[in-house]
């Protein structure tokens, strides 16, 4: 059926990744709470030996449902769990997969399947061809095709080793870029993906539309309010500036007015470049900045 495009048809597929203990699971639950409201409508496909259930009685996010995967982390096992969730009469509104990394690297996962092929004597592309097709067909296709409105993929992450120069010689060095433990293209289909630091702050690495930066506040933790803003955006309601946005506007106006020199202005702009780049008030702030710069560095007659 051909019809007009509608934002309400966009599936918010959210990818969250971090090192262990940084708050992926709780952040995902807070996001789902804000998006759905009723936690009985939130399902977690839980692969972390029960650790995903540690928040079962939490005051803010308790009451969610769980579908455990324990011994077989194959793409088919994940796909079966997603299909079961689709048919559940409770009508789930949010699906959290915690962790999607097991489908790639745990027993029965894609790496394990490739290792089995290699041990059986297969060579080259034949080692990976079957496992990757199973990953795409049984896992990714199910993730993208589920009618559940919100899907959140939680993934473990690492700083991989890469070729570099150490003391003038080629050597393996630890990358400074955190990467999720999953297929290289796992994040391509995500509407938003981000990593979470040790202080539980979110750092956006992909944002499909700039206005979503008013939904997910870069450099701040995920909250229930984040989920509410995402639900509003999904319904086609423009996301309103946050209290943090408004506070930054107030402080920016004060700082620009108080600047005594061009150096003061440039120092402030450099220190706040990240926030300024995503602020809904950036046009107004830049106009104030330009006027202040003109005042402090008048054009020669």
d(CA 274, CA 77): 41
- The helix or strand, by DSSP H or E, that contains position 174, with its residue range, turns out to be strand 169-174
Segment 106-130 shows an average pLDDT of: 95
d(CA 280, CA 285): 10
d(CA 136, CA 72): 17
- Give the rounded percent of residues in the chain with a pLDDT score beyond 70: 97
Q: 239 pLDDT exceeds 80?
A: no
DSSP state of 157: E
d(CA 106, CA 74): 8
Q: What is the pLDDT of residue 211?
A: 80
Ranges 53-62, 101-110, 152-161, 166-175: which has the least confidence: 166-175
d(CA 82, CA 42): 13
Q: What is the pLDDT of residue 191?
A: 92
Residues of the chain with CATH 3.40.50: 10-234
d(CA 141, CA 144): 5
Under the banding of pLDDT at 50, 70 and 90, the label for residue 159 is: confident
Rounded (10°) angle between helices 282-296 and 262-271: 160
Strand partners, 162: 173
Q: What is the pLDDT of residue 297?
A: 79
d(CA 44, CA 66): 5
Segment 114-130 shows an average pLDDT of: 94
Q: What is the pLDDT of residue 238?
A: 62
Under the banding of pLDDT at 50, 70 and 90, the label for residue 192 is: very high
| Domain 10-234: which CATH number of 3.30.450, 2.30.29, 1.10.10, 3.40.50 | 3.40.50
């Amino acid at each position: 059926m051909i019809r007009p495009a509608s934002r309400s048809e966009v599936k918010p597929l959210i990818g969250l990744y971090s090192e262990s203990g940084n708050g992926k699971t709780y952040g995902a639950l807070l996001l789902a709470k804000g998006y759905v409201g009723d936690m009985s409508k939130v399902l977690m496909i839980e692969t972390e030996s029960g650790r995903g259930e540690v928040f079962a009685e939490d005051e803010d996010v308790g009451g969610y449902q769980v579908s455990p995967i324990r011994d077989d982390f194959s793409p088919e096992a994940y796909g079966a769990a997603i299909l079961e969730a689709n048919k559940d009469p409770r009508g789930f509104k949010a699906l959290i997969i915690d962790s999607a990394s097991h489908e790639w690297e745990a027993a029965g996962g894609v790496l394990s399947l490739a290792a089995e092929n290699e041990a059986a004597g297969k060579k080259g592309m034949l080692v990976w061809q079957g496992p990757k097709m199973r990953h795409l067909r049984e896992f990714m296709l199910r993730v993208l095709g589920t009618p559940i409105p919100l899907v959140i993929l939680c993934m473990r992450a690492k700083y991989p080793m890469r070729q570099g120069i150490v003391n003038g010689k080629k050597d393996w060095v630890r990358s400074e870029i955190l990467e999720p433990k999953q297929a290289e293209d796992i994040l391509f289909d995500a509407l938003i993906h981000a990593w979470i630091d040790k202080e539980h702050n979110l750092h956006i690495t992909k944002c499909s539309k700039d206005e979503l930066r008013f939904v997910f506040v870069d450099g701040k933790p995920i909250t229930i309010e984040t989920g509410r803003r995402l639900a509003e955006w999904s319904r086609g309601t423009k996301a309103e500036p946050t209290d943090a946005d408004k506070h930054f506007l107030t402080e920016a106006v004060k700082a620009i007015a108080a600047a005594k020199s061009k150096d003061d202005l440039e120092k402030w702009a450099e220190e706040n470049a990240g926030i300024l780049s995503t602020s809904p008030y950036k046009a107004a702030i830049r106009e104030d900045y330009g006027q202040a710069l003109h005042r402090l560095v008048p054009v020669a007659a």
